[in-house]
Amino acid sequence: MANEGKIYRISGPVVTAIGMEASMYDVVRVGDEGLMGEVIELHGEKAVIQVYEDTSGIRPGEPVINTKETLSVALGPGLLTQIYDGIQRPLPTLEAEMGYFIKRGLDADAFDMEKKWTFNPVASAGDAVQGGQVIGEVQETETIVHKIMIPPGVSGTIKSIESGDFNVTENIAVLEDGTEIQMLQKWPVRTPRPYTQKYAPDTPLITGMRILDFLFPLAKGGAAGIPGPFGSGKTVTQQSLAKFSDAQIVVYIGCGERGNEMTEVLDEFPHLIDPNTGKPLMNRTVMIANTSNMPVAAREASVYTGITIAEYFRDMGYDVALMADSTSRWAEAMREISSRLEEMPGEEGYPAYLSSRIAEFYERAGRVNSLGGDDGSVTVIGAVSPPGGDISEPVSQGTLRIVKVFWGLDAGLARQRHFPAINWLNSYSLYPPSLNQWYRDNIAQDFPEIRTEISTLLQIESELQEIVQLVGSDALPVDQQLTLEVARMIREYFLQQNGFHDVDASCEINLVYKMAKAILTFQTAAKAAMAAGAQLEDITGVPSRSTLMRGKFEASYVDDIEEMVATMVKEIEATVEDN
């Protein structure tokens, strides 16, 4: 047996090689063109390979070479601002090398291997170091310091450490036992990077979207699923999160989605300014774009490539947010390969291991104490595209079993142009109990109670609406009509948010609280006025209420809102006297 074998069979992206020594998940080069593939099954002396590129024109008998490495990503300075395909080839390099269309057989470095970075050591000769420990720093982009760590599994005493300008493959340190350390390290994508300890999450990931931050918060290190039928705004929501969430690093995976949509992201992101730092958003972003017509096996790999990069930054002590749009396409890639392998299918043709793969993926999220001793987190937000919008299908169900936050997108709301079209009745988050303390300490003591009041009002509204459907709203008693009015205010003023508006697209958490509070203040004032004899129409018609509601589109709103609320209360009180 040798490292080189021959092709025996080709069936789409699945190739069988014969006469080659192989172990599972070895990366191989297939055919005369050297297409990249991965061993996924062994039968006697036959190795089944999934190939990451188109296999047309490849013949049996062509060579297969085993690299004896597993599918890995390159990690080091130069990752940020990159745009990769599913197997970490930079798309701009592919364009420079082979034009506007993606051809095959090209190997490209993940980032510039020659570029010199200024390495500042933080460890010195004689220090005992172990895997994950930070030994130096590189200012990678204006906003992000890239920490250079000893690769996991390596330890010893530093014999010498350099300072100055180096490229990623030059030695920056040598250990006593002769181990040479470079800035570049590799990590197999299917293996989670190790850490010391996983913590329970206690800090919310602030997203700038009112409905998420207020009603259904996601914790840093948590996992969320966004299922929704087509046209309900999954991609817009994911992009909004990538733009406005308060993560320090964002990894955005466009997995099997539309080319034009990906282009929009690629065009738009470099011009966006990070609200937290005032610098270009790309400085903190790594993008992976594997559109629906790019090779299916590379789509399968893309989510692993993404999450490995996310874990690497987590190990430096950063809060990382990873968006995967859409995990259904990833699952379909698994299904396609599984059916080529003639595996016994589970539900709807998906492989039986679908749910365990989904669970393994989301389990790589978490807030951890890294090997180097820093606290970092990976938050995973996965979009799910259920066929026909029916979430009883296997991918949605597999996701819901593992994630703690469910943001259910609703086609009906999208049709009413209620955006974000997240259904407040069936969405949930299991994080509030662990995050409430943070909200009390950092925003307001009564934050959790306000949240309960608002969600109760929405619940009551949905019950009242059923009656209104039958008898009309005029038939309800006035106090219930007021409840409907308040709920409408919650929906239209508070929950609706224009993702394309300069101001309204992102709402800071303090303002979210103030807006929720303003609605409850309106309710209290209205109740009091009605008890004193005022008419509901007069109360809802006070001009200061519409001023308050329209004010959210003004940049100065956060400063003006309290005064607006006070004016509204006065005008409502005045309706009593008018009567």
Partner 1 sequence: MAGKEYRTITDVKGPLVFLEKTEPVAFGEIVTLKLSNGTIKNGQVLDTSDDLVVVQVFEGTAKVDRNTGVTFMGDVFKLPVSTDLVGRILDGAGRPRDGGPEIVAEEKADIIGEAINPFSRKSPHDFIQTGISAIDCCTTLVRGQKLPIFSASGLPHNDIALQIARQAKLKDSDEEFIVVFCAMGITAEEYNYFRSDLERTGALENAVLFVNLADDPAVERIITPRLALTAAEYLAFEKDYHVLVIYTDMTNYCDALRQIGAAREEVPGRRGYPGYMYTDLAMLYERAGIIKGKKGSITQFPILTMPGDDITHPIPDLSGYITEGQIVISRELYQQGIYPPINVLPSLSRLMGSCIGAKTTREDHKSVSDQMYAAYAQGRELRGLVAIVGEDALNERDKQLLDFSGVFEDKFLRQGQDEDRSIDDTLDLCWDLMSSISTKYLVRLDQKWIEKYHPDNRA
Contact string (CB under 8 A) for partner 1, positions 483-512, x = contact: -----------------x------------
Cα–Cα distance for residue pair 216/320, rounded to 1 Å:
19
| Residue 329 vs 364, nearer CB to partner 1 | 329
Which residue type does 211 have? I
**Residue 472: CB minimum distance to partner 1, A:** 5
| Binding residue for partner 1, selected from 69, 107, 177, 264, defined by CB under 8 A | 264
Cα–Cα distance for residue pair 445/231, rounded to 1 Å:
38
Q: Which of 330, 335, 311, 329 is nearest to 321 (CA)?
A: 311
**Binding span for partner 1 by CB under 8 A among 199-207, 340-348, 359-367, 563-571:** 340-348
| Binding residue for partner 1, selected from 66, 70, 240, 291, defined by CB under 8 A | 291
Question: Should residue 470 be labelled a site residue for partner 1 when binding is judged by CB under 8 A?
Answer: yes
| Binding residue for partner 1, selected from 131, 151, 270, 345, defined by CB under 8 A | 345
- Relative to beta strand 83-84, strand 285-290 is parallel
Contact string (CB under 8 A) for partner 1, positions 226-245, x = contact: ---xxx--------------
Give the CA distances from residue 455 to residues 425, 437, 452, 507, in Å, rounded to whole numbers and listed in that order: 9, 19, 5, 19
**Residue 578: CB minimum distance to partner 1, A:** 20
| Residue 6 vs 68, nearer CB to partner 1 | 6
Cα–Cα distance for residue pair 204/444, rounded to 1 Å:
14
| Binding residue for partner 1, selected from 120, 157, 196, 416, defined by CB under 8 A | 416
- The length of the chain is 579
Token pair recorded at residue 50: 């999934």
Question: Should residue 11 be labelled a site residue for partner 1 when binding is judged by CB under 8 A?
Answer: yes
Question: Should residue 12 be labelled a site residue for partner 1 when binding is judged by CB under 8 A?
Answer: yes
Cα–Cα distance for residue pair 254/271, rounded to 1 Å:
19
**Binding span for partner 1 by CB under 8 A among 7-15, 111-119, 129-137, 361-369:** 7-15
Which residue type does 560 have? D
Number of Cβ within 10 Å of residue 266's Cβ equals: 16
| Residue 331 vs 378, nearer CB to partner 1 | 331
Question: Should residue 471 be labelled a site residue for partner 1 when binding is judged by CB under 8 A?
Answer: yes
**Binding span for partner 1 by CB under 8 A among 317-325, 370-378, 465-473, 565-573:** 465-473
Token pair recorded at residue 284: 């903190």
**Binding span for partner 1 by CB under 8 A among 73-81, 124-132, 255-263, 568-576:** 255-263
Question: Should residue 387 be labelled a site residue for partner 1 when binding is judged by CB under 8 A?
Answer: yes
Cα–Cα distance for residue pair 579/473, rounded to 1 Å:
23
Cβ neighbors of 269 (< 8 A, separation 6 or more) are 242, 243, 281, 282, 285, 287
Q: How many residues bind partner 1 (CB under 8 A)?
A: 69
**Residue 293: CB minimum distance to partner 1, A:** 4
| Binding residue for partner 1, selected from 3, 8, 159, 491, defined by CB under 8 A | 8
Q: Which of 221, 212, 274 is nearest to 244 (CA)?
A: 274
Contact string (CB under 8 A) for partner 1, positions 72-111, x = contact: -----------x-------xx-xx---xxxxx--------
**Residue 189: CB minimum distance to partner 1, A:** 21
Cα–Cα distance for residue pair 48/57, rounded to 1 Å:
18
At residue 118, the 3 state secondary structure works out as strand
Cβ neighbors of 235 (< 8 A, separation 6 or more) are 257, 261, 325, 383
**From the CA atom positions of the chain, what is the Rg in Å?**
27
Question: Should residue 116 be labelled a site residue for partner 1 when binding is judged by CB under 8 A?
Answer: no
Which residue type does 30 have? V
| Residue 44 vs 472, nearer CB to partner 1 | 472
**Residue 94: CB minimum distance to partner 1, A:** 6
Q: In what order do the strands lie in the sheet with 117-121?
A: 145-149, 134-139, 117-121, 164-166
Contact string (CB under 8 A) for partner 1, positions 54-73, x = contact: xxxxxxxxx-----------
Peptide bond into 160 cis (omega under 30): no
**Binding span for partner 1 by CB under 8 A among 3-11, 174-182, 212-220, 371-379:** 3-11
Number of Cβ within 10 Å of residue 18's Cβ equals: 17
| Residue 46 vs 186, nearer CB to partner 1 | 46
Question: Should residue 391 be labelled a site residue for partner 1 when binding is judged by CB under 8 A?
Answer: no
| Residue 102 vs 148, nearer CB to partner 1 | 102
**Residue 469: CB minimum distance to partner 1, A:** 7
Residues 305-334 contacting partner 1, CB under 8 A: 329, 332-333
Question: Should residue 254 be labelled a site residue for partner 1 when binding is judged by CB under 8 A?
Answer: yes
| Residue 42 vs 566, nearer CB to partner 1 | 42
**Binding span for partner 1 by CB under 8 A among 289-297, 442-450, 525-533, 568-576:** 289-297
| Binding residue for partner 1, selected from 32, 177, 363, 390, defined by CB under 8 A | 390
CB hemisphere CA count around 42 (13 angstroms): 10
Cα–Cα distance for residue pair 201/223, rounded to 1 Å:
11
Dihedral of the alpha carbons of 362, 334, 349, 228, in degrees to the nearest 10: 50
**Residue 6: CB minimum distance to partner 1, A:** 9
| Binding residue for partner 1, selected from 474, 502, 555, 556, defined by CB under 8 A | 474
Phi, psi dihedral angles at 258 (to 5 degrees): -75, 140
DSSP state string for 239-280: HHHHHHS--SEEEEEEES--HHHHHHHHHHGGG-B-TTTSSB
- Report the sign of the C-alpha dihedral through residues 329, 334, 338, 344, in that order: negative
Residues that bind partner 1 (CB under 8 A): 8-12, 16, 54-62, 83, 91-92, 94-95, 99-103, 229-231, 254, 256, 258-264, 266-267, 289, 291-294, 296, 329, 332-333, 335-336, 339, 342, 345, 348-349, 385, 387-390, 415-417, 469-472, 474, 500
